[in-house]
């Protein structure tokens, strides 16, 4: 066995061969051999000890979203593995490339209900791109190569590798070859010239085209190609929540956010445009509302890498299947140059209406309790709109994505499809490791932070420079909003009696400050931004604030509530 490599060391070597620099994990009985091997590679792989395995997956997601690389989580068997389920499902819905590696009981004990045994492959198959159990040491290099290839190519997503303890302790002749091809797996569909030509012809004949930009543009690194496409044909573009930051906020063709709490212009004009162009987005129900009334007047073109998304929710006139980095330039070549000032003016008129009804009072209020929007806007301005925005889930999330501003791509890290409370704090940790030179601002509610508040321990141990802005309204705010609007103000189990978050922050050696008045807000934000290291700002915001505009669930996108307008 002199020249043989152990399975546990082979796993570490394979991760290094894939360029892994950071792992988020938590040790336990059935993964101890791997952690033992990791001890000898501390100078090559940075392992971050989280406080809960769910935190490991969300941190891996945050890392992947800001770095563009594959995030890695390493956990033990049984409860360690099952604690990752929420993060895996979240990554699947948001197309986030992560590899979750779990320990497993020895092969001889599989199926015996051994201590801390769980059918990890069976549990995770429906919520991952690929889930595989390694039972032999010699399969480790092959499985890891395949895992990273599947996670990172095509439409990205999570991969789960379950590795038995005897595979970790076995021996093999280590050789590593990166995966470049898997039979029956075609990550990039062949681009069809007739689809390119059809799309270009429809756009060239359009009077009022509208583009809907999704995260696929960011995942495909096609931001420049998108701008060339939009600018040549003068097409206004709205973004999904995850597509925000693909286009700078101040770009003249950027006309806002789609969806339930999106800007009214994109939602109203969806049902007035003559051509609707979905680019790397999946026509989620939060974007479309009532499908029976959605864009019935428009010809719909759908650019996507995933064939399964075409015609899944919205019937399309034309599809452009393929990687948008390849397909957008091909269509752009065939487009006629165009300017559409009158069409763009219609969006400006909508924005003026929204500004007067909602935005001005949300951002520039001079009396009453602090508002979420004004806090978010001031933090964005204090970072010169260059920070990475991370959010948890709830009212603060919708406010943050609406009012934060973006000057570069990969600036939004949030749970879109699954809407996972507790996502924010660990995701912010991962986001900072993914882009250490950028300021990372986490907006979190008093409900969400308490779901993963133990990750303050991770921040303390590794001195992670995350700016935490707790928008504290002493409610589960989004549920309360629905209760107010649709359940006769019956606030069933949404009132929160909270701890002293400043004391909690200080207990974790994180400088913390409570803000209750408008007069102290600017200085508190400046102190936070200028501080080198983590900082917790507990901002007391209005107790019963509302997120407007709002399209009620299942309603038409034109059925928009604007509060007291």
The DSSP code sequence of 361-418 is HHHS--SSSB-HHHHHHHHHHHTTT-SEEEE-SSHHHHHHHHH---SSSS-EE---SS
Q: Is 175 part of the annotated catalytic residue set?
A: no
| Cβ count near 221 (within 10 Å) | 14
Q: Is 129 part of the annotated catalytic residue set?
A: no
Strands 535-540 and 512-515: parallel
Question: Who's near 544: CB < 8 A, 6+ residues apart?
Answer: 473, 475, 480, 484
Q: Report the alpha-carbon distance of residue 256 to residue 258 in Å, rounded.
A: 7
Decide if 299 contacts 318 (C-beta within 8 A): yes
Outline where DSSP puts E strands in 169-245. 171-172, 209-213, 237-239
Q: Report the alpha-carbon distance of residue 427 to residue 27 in Å, rounded.
A: 20
Q: Is 116 part of the annotated catalytic residue set?
A: yes
In angstroms, the first-to-last Cα distance of the chain is 77
Task: Tell whether omega for the bond before 59 is within 30 degrees of 0, i.e. cis.
Answer: no
Tokens standing for residue 350: 């909508």
Q: Is 53 part of the annotated catalytic residue set?
A: yes
Tokens standing for residue 206: 């359009």
Decide if 208 contacts 344 (C-beta within 8 A): no
Q: Is 546 part of the annotated catalytic residue set?
A: no
Active-site hit among 18, 30, 35, 53: 53
Active-site hit among 165, 269, 330, 432: 165
For residue 218, which of 67, 90, 89 has the smallest C-alpha distance?
A: 67
Active-site hit among 257, 372, 451, 478: 478
Active-site hit among 44, 115, 297, 489: 115
Q: Report the alpha-carbon distance of residue 342 to residue 525 in Å, rounded.
A: 40
Decide if 30 contacts 59 (C-beta within 8 A): no
Tokens standing for residue 124: 């995770």
CA triple 164-169-170, angle to 5 deg: 95
Residue numbers annotated as active site: 53, 115-116, 165, 478
């Amino acid at each position: 066995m002199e020249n043989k490599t152990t399975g546990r060391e082979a796993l570490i070597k394979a991760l290094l061969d894939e360029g892994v620099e950071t792992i988020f994990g938590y040790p336990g009985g059935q993964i101890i051999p791997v952690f033992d091997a990791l001890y000898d590679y501390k100078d090559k792989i940075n392992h971050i000890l989280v406080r809960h395995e769910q935190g490991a997956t969300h941190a891996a997601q945050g890392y992947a979203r800001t770095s563009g690389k594959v995030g890695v989580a390493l956990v033990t068997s049984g409860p360690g593995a099952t604690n990752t389920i929420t993060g895996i499902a979240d990554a699947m819905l948001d197309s986030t490339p992560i590899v979750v590696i779990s320990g497993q009981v020895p092969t001889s004990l599989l199926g015996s209900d051994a201590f801390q045994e769980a059918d990890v492959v069976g549990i995770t198959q429906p919520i991952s791109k690929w889930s595989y159990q390694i039972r032999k040491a010699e399969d480790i290099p092959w499985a890891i190569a395949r895992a990273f290839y599947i996670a990172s190519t095509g439409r990205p997503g999570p991969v789960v590798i379950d590795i038995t303890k005897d595979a970790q302790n076995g021996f093999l002749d280590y050789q590593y070859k990166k995966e470049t091809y898997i039979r029956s797996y075609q990550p990039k569909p062949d681009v069809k010239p007739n689809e390119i030509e059809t799309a270009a012809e429809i756009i060239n004949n359009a009077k009022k085209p509208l583009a809907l930009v999704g995260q696929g543009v960011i995942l495909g690194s096609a931001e420049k190609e998108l701008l060339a496409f939009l600018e040549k044909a003068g097409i206004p573009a709205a973004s999904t929540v995850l597509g925000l930051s693909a286009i700078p906020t101040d770009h003249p063709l950027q006309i806002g956010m789609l969806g339930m709490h999106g800007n009214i212009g994109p939602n109203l004009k969806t049902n007035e445009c003559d051509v609707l162009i979905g680019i790397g987005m999946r026509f989620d129900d939060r974007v479309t509302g009532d499908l029976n009334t959605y864009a019935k007047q428009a010809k719909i073109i759908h650019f996507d890498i995933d064939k399964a998304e075409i015609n899944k929710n919205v019937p399309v006139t034309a599809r452009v299947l393929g990687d948008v980095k390849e397909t957008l330039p091909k269509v752009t070549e065939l487009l006629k140059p165009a300017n559409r000032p009158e069409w763009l003016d219609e969006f400006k008129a909508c924005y003026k209406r929204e500004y007067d009804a909602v935005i001005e009072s949300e951002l520039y209020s001079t009396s009453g309790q602090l508002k979420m929007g004004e806090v978010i806007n001031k933090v964005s301005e204090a970072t010169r709109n260059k920070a990475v925005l991370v959010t948890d889930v709830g009212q603060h999330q919708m406010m943050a994505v609406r009012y934060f501003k973006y000057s570069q791509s990969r600036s939004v890290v949030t749970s879109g499809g699954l809407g996972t409370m507790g996502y924010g704090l660990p995701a912010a940790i991962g986001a900072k490791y993914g882009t250490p030179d950028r300021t990372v601002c986490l907006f979190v509610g008093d409900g969400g932070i308490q779901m993963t508040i133990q990750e303050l321990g991770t921040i303390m141990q590794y001195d992670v420079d995350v700016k935490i802005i707790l928008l504290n309204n002493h409610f589960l705010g989004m549920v309360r909003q629905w209760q107010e609007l649709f359940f006769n103000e019956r606030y069933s189990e949404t009132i929160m009696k909270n701890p002293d978050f400043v004391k909690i922050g200080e207990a974790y050696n994180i400088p913390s400050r409570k803000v209750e008045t408008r007069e102290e807000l600017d200085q508190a934000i400046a102190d936070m931004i200028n501080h080198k290291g983590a900082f917790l700002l507990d901002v007391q915001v209005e107790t019963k604030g509302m997120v407007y505009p709002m399209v009620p669930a299942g309603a038409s996108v034109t059925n928009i509530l604007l509060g007291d307008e």
